[in-house]
Amino acid sequence: MIFIGPRNLLVSRQKSRFLASLGITASRVRCEELKGDPISLAVRRPVRYSPPRRQILAGDRQNVKYCEPMTAIQQNVPLKPYTTFKIGGPARFFATASTPEEFRSALDFARRERLPVFVLGGGSNILVSDRGFDGLVIHPAQKGMEHEACGEDAVLVRIQAGEIWDEAVRKVVEREWWGIENLSHIPGQVGAALVQNIGAYGQQIGDVLDSAEVMEIETGAVRTLFPKDCRLAYRASIFDTTAPSRFIILSLHLRLNSLGKPNLAYRDVRDYFAERGDAEPTIADVRRAIIEIRDRKFPFPREERGGNAGSFFKNLPVRKDEFETLRVALARNFPTSVMQRLEEIRQRSTSEHIKLPAAFLIDICGLKGYRVGGAEVNPQQPLVLLNRGGATASDVLALARHIRRTVHARTGMILELEPQLVGIEEKGALDFHSEKS
């Protein structure tokens, strides 16, 4: 069923003259064609004109429906097509919203029905339960980009949260604005990029964030949050830690640079240009390099076979004393070649904490290509779990538990998940301590 909002009418073509009997002129009507007959007429009456509901129903009881909310609400919508993992059951209710009014209307519906709300963007960093989500899923669909010069070389770019992230990066690179080119080829929407504080190859969204426009889920009020308000950390923010159900992200303001230079801090990127003898790559060259490098490691999710949520485990920032404890543990269980790789990781670190790649731990434990049902550890990049066709959320969780249990048993390290679990209780789903090895 299609729910038409406050003061909206669902009227058949033959009975559309009934609008005139209510004193509604064409200038006060916005028409939206639906398939066949009838059509939806969103009526914007003058404030002083508010006929009682019984008057509308009495006028044409068979052809007019008056109901809430304004945003179209669908029932039992499969979420699988909306995720890059291509996994997940249905949403009990589902709404697409493009304006603050449509978001508020959907939230009003959720409040009246006492439903939990989940905002589903590009679905690139989530795993949805096989049972789906027993509440209202809101899918942001607002589009658009604007920019303004801020000083001699700074550019402030406002991007709507419903834009596809990689499309936004492409447009920015075409204008030669530096700052997010190394974040190319990451699936998902712009709003989700801030939720996770995405990062890759020496850049992260927090480095260029000026502010974010958000809506409070409880009140519908629109606010501006600055970087300190977002509490950005490694692959985390207020939106997925301390306040995961408080805000809907509407748009981001990113501060970019028109006179930037290539960020070649990561060895993969340096090696790419060294092999080609390119000492001064352009911003377009950098984007092209990142896409090629990511395609080798992270299969871009386009179909069910090969579907994934990107990096499934977070890298581990460890203190130097913790690293020494790990080194002693690995020396007991692994050959010299593994110890040499561990030393290379230590030497690459330039900060107080050493970033220990989760892929390294999974690899040395011999888990590349390990499979449970339709879910598999990517043989090329073990940080990624793949849907090999027909995988369920239960398959993925069983595989994740096996990986965490094995890595912990052999290295003493506990891997933390990167994707958000939807409709799944994380503690119970990922507890491997009670399972047999």
Q: Which of the residues are catalytic?
A: 235, 311, 418
Q: Give the integer Cα–Cα distance in Å for 250 and 244.
A: 15
In 3D space, the residue among 75, 115, 116, 80 whose CA is nearest the CA of residue 93 turns out to be 75
Taking phi first (over 0 means left), then psi (-120 to 50 degrees means alpha), and beta for anything else, what does residue 400 get? Answer: alpha
Tokens encoding 259: 């006179």
Place of tokens 């669902």: 10
Residue 148 identity (one-letter amino acid): E
C-alpha distances (whole Å) from 198 to each of 251, 314, 326, 429 are 16, 12, 27, 25
Q: Give the integer Cα–Cα distance in Å for 258 and 281.
A: 15
Q: Residue 255's beta-bridge partner residues?
A: 156
Q: Give the integer Cα–Cα distance in Å for 24 and 38.
A: 18
In 3D space, the residue among 61, 36, 43 whose CA is nearest the CA of residue 4 turns out to be 43
Q: Give the integer Cα–Cα distance in Å for 206 and 401.
A: 31
Give start and end residues of each alpha helix (H) in 349-388: 358-364
The β-bridge relationship of strands 420-422 and 126-128 is parallel
**Taking the CB of residue 417, how many other CB atoms lie within 10 A of it?**
18
Helix axes 267-275, 283-297, angle to 10 degrees: 110
Q: What is the dihedral of CA 255, 178, 286, 368, to 10 degrees?
A: -10
Dihedral sign for Cα atoms in the order 372, 374, 378, 379: positive
- CB 250, CB 239: distance < 8 Å: no
Q: Give the integer Cα–Cα distance in Å for 372 and 395.
A: 6
